[in-house]
Amino acid sequence: MGRDDFERCTPFEFYEVWNRWGQQHRDSERGAWERARVMAMFFIQPYVKGKLTVHDVLPLPWDEEDSSVKGEEISKEEFNRRFEEAKRRNGLK
């Protein structure tokens, strides 16, 4: 993101860009872990009786994501209201 784009962002827009950027990096990291555990399963399978799954070989935290841990979804208006309120509390303009 260029400086001009950054300066024109509202707090809500910046938060969304930052959130998507973080999600992209998490997905990239997960992809590497998924490939590693598939390879591990293929290496181990000939030495194991029965059929393995990738979850048996290397369970990962996101396999059983808890749906109750989702973040709070707020509207753009509510986000901006909270932002303005925080600025007032901290003496910012």
Higher per-residue pLDDT: 68 or 49: 49
Please write the tens of the pLDDT for every residue from 27-50: 999 999 999 999 999 999 999 898
> Can you give the pLDDT at residue 35?
92
The dihedral built from the CA positions of residue 56, 58, 61 and 62, taken in this order, carries a sign that is: negative
**Which pair of structure tokens corresponds to residue 43?**
């290496």
- Model-level pTM greater than 0.75? no
Checking if the pLDDT of 52 tops 80, the result is yes
> Can you give the pLDDT at residue 36?
92
What is d(CA 26, CA 30) in angstroms, rounded to the nearest whole number? 6
What is d(CA 81, CA 71) in angstroms, rounded to the nearest whole number? 18
Checking if the pLDDT of 67 tops 60, the result is no
Checking if the pLDDT of 60 tops 50, the result is yes
Terminal CA-CA length for the chain: 25
Average pLDDT of every residue of the chain: 84
